[in-house]
Structure 1
């Protein structure tokens, strides 16, 4: 097999592969920086919780409109925003912290969504919603993915400074009169938007993978924020491309292949990362013992 046949021919020959590649690359552009800020703000599990919070809205839209990605995306977006607002209100009105609030709503949302689809759908429908069908991405879905990626990058550019300061020193931002609460809320909306976009291609269970795994990997390679953003983005883009190729040549489901590719990058980073990787730590201890 020539390099062309291995690396590019699937995308040259099949339109559905090109659509899947463009959609996943757009998804990576939005998800990678969002995931990195979730990691920096110690909100990784919040991202996972939000990926399940959209399920009831998508399930209700599925019951009413069938397998319409547009309807399910709107339903998922509404459900995600409701959970964001409800978790924020619970956090401010009770002694529960934000992560505990999100965890509670996540469990209720996941159970409700699965019950709804199981009652009025089929196992095939449930698998479609949970794991997605990236190879079925059409022009409408591509336009939505591109819109979400563009909006994410523009809004992040606008709230970048407040987001960075709040990530590392929220008390300082409050003392300087910064609008940390608004930046935090805008950021949570971006999380929901990107998870809804990811739901179209990867399903509710897999969408968070392209958000968190590249970000966690980047933390093991760099310290400065621009470098972290660049590495996370590079890993997400490569995971999308390599995962699609792997799924095509090995005849495997595309979504899991993309996430497993990102997982392989994470394990490589764990072993060989220059900032906290196990190999570097072992060599450092061996040098001190010598």
Structure 2
């Protein structure tokens, strides 16, 4: 019973969640501005945490993931100590806890501010899935987070069929081989905890005043000889914090942090940014 109550937030709780997400967005901007060749993953992580603390956060919501190069292919990478190199991507998954409520955002960007074609191809597939899932989430008494996950599999499998030789979306889904490249769920509930609350099944239809993440991703191991060489070592995840408002509309609270590849590249190569 208490978990169902935690799952459905009050308007005051949603306002607190938004404050936490807004602070996380500001801290991500600091992280973007710190990421340059010669800096380290630890430098980026420290700038994000400092911005969260200065903004009033009590703590990080969970250990930050700051993976550059092949580190981006490790979903729960926590080494966070490599030097950043031009030509690599940086995947950062980080959040803060402010006034008892958490945020949880992931962005992936080119350290140099310039995408390679292979990086952009993978990023575009993940962004397509991210956007499709956001559009599909709704309060209709039927649609659930599990339905959104199934949609993410369909979109990512279609993208994989274009990226990988001699395969098809149908074959990837029927064999389960897509999970080699997409080994996690599309999202989870969040609120007072990062996974809040796990006892509410993801098959539960969306309701007003619930909060959840949308976070599709694709990861190509640097050692996987079954994928084209230019894809090896590329990992991309895009995660936004979403709520269903009182009118039943799904809102991405972290949308001020860009996902458009041109805007992401511009932010990575600039020291100035004003959230929209």
* TM-score, L = length of structure 2: 0.28
Higher helix share: 1
Larger Rg: 1
Higher strand share: 2
* TM-score, L = length of structure 1: 0.27
